[in-house]
Structure 1
Amino acid sequence: MPKRLSATAERHADLVRTRLLEVAPTGLALLELAADCGLSRWQTRRALVTLRDLCAQEGWPPLLWTRELGYHFCASEPELEAWELTWVSRELTQFRRMLTGTLGPHLQLFPNSAWAEYLTAQFRAIESNLEMAAGYGSQ
């Protein structure tokens, strides 16, 4: 079932989409995009989230953010794979920090915590999958 989007968010997403299509293949930084569309920073962020949902629903090219181009639509397989590998690596780091910085100490303080044991097992499974994806992507 498609996600329900507010009419205002859809209108703002359409403004952002139109502006990004006008400057393609380059992109725009958040503040440039906000100024060009006449939106606040918050409205622009909300429009970008909505636009990502619309891209998925409509089968449009994905909306990416990179340091070099800012927000832009991407149809290049190598760029998409590089972006996805970066995302996987970043999330892997976050999961490892959660395991070592929060769940580990939780289990040391409360060794019989069923919740912490459950989360640790789930996070270890996710960590393993992310490691495999990161290793596959770096080949």
Structure 2
Amino acid sequence: MRTPGRGRRPDRGRGRILASIRDETLRWRKIKEPPEDPRTGQHRWTVDTANREVGRSVDSPFTVSEWSAQRWRCLQWVKDKAALEHLTPLTWTPKEGYRFSADPAEWISYERHRFHTELTRITRLITATVGPHAGARPNDKFARTILAQLEGVRATYESLVTDQS
């Protein structure tokens, strides 16, 4: 890629990344007018901003969707590791969001809510996918086995969701 004036720096990846913009006029306009760095206020291209400009993924989160993905991975780690290590369940409420709760009543309420969500998913899987499969091919052993297993799972979740206290 040739750059206007003395702007050529072969040791940098930004130019090569921006070279993937096919429209030459747009490419040069983007190169000459770099975005403002929100932390420093300077107008400059970084490898991450160039990658974002051409639609590639980046290493450090900046946009809401990138930040959300990173937060989701962190939350999964907390759910998988930290809650079990500290024996304090991680619960979620609309008012307070995710938190470690010391109240067993909140644990039970959250667990029932999660079981209800899974019950809904399994019921929809049965009615929208496996049920029609078994109905269309009544002699299909695979479909009958899945349907029987899922019906058992659904019955178990229904008993967990109902208030038995």
Q: Could you tell me the TM-score, scaled by structure 1's length? A: 0.65
CA distance in 1, matches of 2:116, 2:84: 26
Runs of 5+ unmatched residues, structure 1: 1-33
| Structure 1 position 90, deviation (Å) | 1.7
CA distance in 1, matches of 2:106, 2:122: 24
Give the match for residue 66 of structure 1.
93
Q: Percent identity?
A: 30
Structure number with greater CO (CA < 8 Å, separation at least 6) is 1
Runs of 5+ unmatched residues, structure 2: 1-60
Give the match for residue 148 of structure 2.
121
Bigger Cα Rg:
2
Question: Root-mean-square deviation (CA), in Å?
Answer: 2.2
Higher helix share: 1
Which deviations, in whole Å up to 9, do the C-alpha atoms of 1:72-91 show, x marking residues without a partner?
11121111111111111221
Which deviations, in whole Å up to 9, do the C-alpha atoms of 1:105-127 show, x marking residues without a partner?
11122222221111111101111
Which deviations, in whole Å up to 9, do the C-alpha atoms of 1:52-88 show, x marking residues without a partner?
1112441341222221111211121111111111111
CA distance in 1, matches of 2:106, 2:79: 17
Letter in 2 for 1:62: P
Give the match for residue 88 of structure 1.
115
| Contact 2:91-2:106 at 8 Å conserved across structures | no
CA distance in 2, matches of 1:41, 1:55: 20
Aligned length: 102
